Amino acid sequence: METLEKAGLAVNYNKVPSTKPEYLPRKVFIWDETLRDGEQTPGVALTIDEKIEIAKMLDEVGTAIVAVGFPAVSEAEKNAVAAIAKEGLSNAKVAAPARAVIEDIDACIEADVDEVPIFIATSDFRLKYQLRMTREQVLERLTECVEHGREHGLIVDYIAEDSTRSNMDFLCEAYRTAIDAGADKICVADTVGFVRPEVMRHIMREVKSRLWNEQKYRVPIAVHCHDDFGLATANTLTAIEEGATYPQVCVNAYGERAGNAAFEEVVMALEELYGIDTGVKTEKLYRLSGLVEKNFVIPLPLHKSISGDNAFTHSSGIHSHGQLTHSMTYEPISPMRVGRTREFHLGKFVGRHFVEYLLKMGGIKASPEQAREITDRVKITHEDKKKLHSDMAFEKIKSELRSLRTGVSEREFWEIVFDVI
Ligand code: MN
């Protein structure tokens, strides 16, 4: 892009000063949740070795904080977290979350992690129906738990679960209470992926105006977004435009329900579209995606941005030919930026020019008639032969994929019930 821009042949509106968000930070710190929220993807269960492998790769890539598991869930989970903490990561902080319950925090202390994000909800209906606590009780519990973590030398953060459906006065009171008790960071959590980007902006501005005007409460803000409406990445970026510096992400957008903001999307958008330093070695992103995909046993959609098989594959003749004349023609960034190579997939959209180019590259001499015949045959292969086969194979693969999920489906659950009763 640089050269085309310099030559006056392309305009990059991302760099036009009036489009630059006012509160955009210069640097952000990637907070990965792949091994925590990510592992809550229905049907996923990782072995300790797989967790260690992923944690090490996240560290190598340049992640600032790696949430490695939820020690209070089970003895096995606590041991896995402890094993990763014991391995030690070279740059990343090892974090493990806790409910605002002393036993949860003790489990994190026993697992010997660096950092504990403590979460308790702030929305009134969760207080009433889920926690059965008053606002006062929530604040008391929060103080007690944050202080308990701090007394044991941990970095403590406060995640206000369901922030985006909470009363703003109480939300900010909870943040202040956590900071008073020693919290290092606070997190705005769109737990059910409920807001649109402009609403995230509104919430961030409210939180900032109520907290950051006092030096004492000027702590870094993390953001946690879900993809229930496909807005997780957009909402995360909007929060960063308003000054959030710790985006919580999951590799390949895995996570509860529709998943979380994707690590690779947030990082690449920040680096390429905003010009922000994320500290991530982007050329390792494709390897990271592949490792997590393999260990999660959840195939990425072929068209997944950045890391899907098709993300840098060209198929139409016009596009393929365009790519040969200048790589920027149909690509926003070089595939090498994320550790990939450009590919072509020939089909009915193939053009004769492109076939001739490939023949030339392969050192093959062909007459115009032969080139035409090759082009025609490529098109026919695409249209006729494969379609019937792929319809049948697709159904089979889909059902195979469902069967790969670990755990128990609702149907299997009732089968167990009727077997026992
Ligand atoms: Mn979540």
CATH of the domain at 170: 3.20.20.70
Residue 326 has pLDDT above 80, yes or no: no
197 alpha carbon – ligand 1 mean position (Å): 17
**Cβ(231)–Cβ(218) below 8 Å:** no
- Quick check: is 399 in a domain? no
12 alpha carbon – ligand 1 mean position (Å): 34
Distance CA 119, CA 171 (A): 13
Interval 305-317: pLDDT, tens = 999 999 998 877 6
Distance CA 118, CA 181 (A): 12
110 alpha carbon – ligand 1 mean position (Å): 24
Q: Domain end: 232, 264, 296, which one?
A: 296
Strand, helix or coil at 260? Answer: strand
Same-domain check for residues 281 and 332:
no
**Mean pLDDT on 73-93:** 93
Residue 323 has pLDDT above 70, yes or no: no
Tokens of 328: 């920027």
Distance CA 352, CA 368 (A): 9
Same-domain check for residues 67 and 210:
yes
Strands (E), 113-245: 115-121, 155-161, 185-190, 221-225
Same-domain check for residues 320 and 292:
no
**Cβ(28)–Cβ(239) below 8 Å:** no
- Quick check: is 317 in a domain? yes
Using alpha carbons, select from 222, 213, 209, 239 the residue that is nearest to residue 183.
Answer: 222
Residue 406 has pLDDT above 90, yes or no: no
**Predicted confidence band at 1 (pLDDT cuts at 50, 70, 90)?**
low
216 alpha carbon – ligand 1 mean position (Å): 28
Same-domain check for residues 35 and 160:
yes
232 alpha carbon – ligand 1 mean position (Å): 11
- Quick check: is 308 in a domain? no
| Residue labelled with tokens 């949740």 | 33
Q: Domain end: 266, 296, 326, which one?
A: 296
DSSP 280: -
328 alpha carbon – ligand 1 mean position (Å): 36
Mean residue pLDDT of the chain comes to: 92
417 alpha carbon – ligand 1 mean position (Å): 30
- Quick check: is 220 in a domain? yes
188 alpha carbon – ligand 1 mean position (Å): 11
Same-domain check for residues 142 and 181:
yes
226 alpha carbon – ligand 1 mean position (Å): 6
Same-domain check for residues 121 and 222:
yes
Same-domain check for residues 286 and 328:
no
Same-domain check for residues 286 and 349:
no
pLDDT of residue 350: 80
Distance CA 281, CA 285 (A): 7
Distance CA 150, CA 311 (A): 45
pLDDT of residue 402: 83
259 alpha carbon – ligand 1 mean position (Å): 8
Strand, helix or coil at 357? Answer: helix
257 alpha carbon – ligand 1 mean position (Å): 9
143 alpha carbon – ligand 1 mean position (Å): 23
Interval 359-378: pLDDT, tens = 888 899 999 999 999 988 88
233 alpha carbon – ligand 1 mean position (Å): 13
Interval 162-175: pLDDT, tens = 999 999 999 999 99
Interval 187-212: pLDDT, tens = 999 999 999 999 999 999 999 999 99
**Cβ(246)–Cβ(223) below 8 Å:** yes
Same-domain check for residues 281 and 366:
no
- Quick check: is 248 in a domain? yes
Interval 207-244: pLDDT, tens = 999 999 999 999 999 999 999 999 999 999 999 999 99
Strand, helix or coil at 39? Answer: helix
Phi, psi of 222 (to 5 degrees): -100, 165
pLDDT of residue 401: 85
Distance CA 273, CA 376 (A): 40
pLDDT of residue 378: 85
Same-domain check for residues 242 and 350:
no
Q: Regarding predicted confidence, which is higher, 139 or 318? A: 139
**Cβ(116)–Cβ(89) below 8 Å:** no
348 alpha carbon – ligand 1 mean position (Å): 42
Tokens of 306: 């950045």
256 alpha carbon – ligand 1 mean position (Å): 6
36 alpha carbon – ligand 1 mean position (Å): 9
Who surrounds ion ligand 1 at CB < 5 A? 37
CB atoms within 10 A of CB 153: 8
- Quick check: is 283 in a domain? yes
Residue 279 has pLDDT above 70, yes or no: yes
Q: Domain end: 233, 263, 296, which one?
A: 296
- Quick check: is 408 in a domain? no
**Mean pLDDT on 265-272:** 98
206 alpha carbon – ligand 1 mean position (Å): 22
**CA dihedral (159, 49, 111, 60) positive or negative:** negative
Interval 371-399: pLDDT, tens = 999 988 888 877 666 777 888 888 888 88
68 alpha carbon – ligand 1 mean position (Å): 14
126 alpha carbon – ligand 1 mean position (Å): 15
- Quick check: is 362 in a domain? yes
pLDDT of residue 2: 59
400 alpha carbon – ligand 1 mean position (Å): 27
Same-domain check for residues 284 and 378:
no
Domain count for the chain, please give it.
2
Same-domain check for residues 166 and 278:
yes
**Mean pLDDT on 128-138:** 93
Residue 357 has pLDDT above 90, yes or no: no
Instruction: Say what angle helices 135-151 and 168-180 make with each other, to 10 degrees.
Output: 30
255 alpha carbon – ligand 1 mean position (Å): 7
Expressed as residue numbers, the domain containing 142 is 22-296
55 alpha carbon – ligand 1 mean position (Å): 19
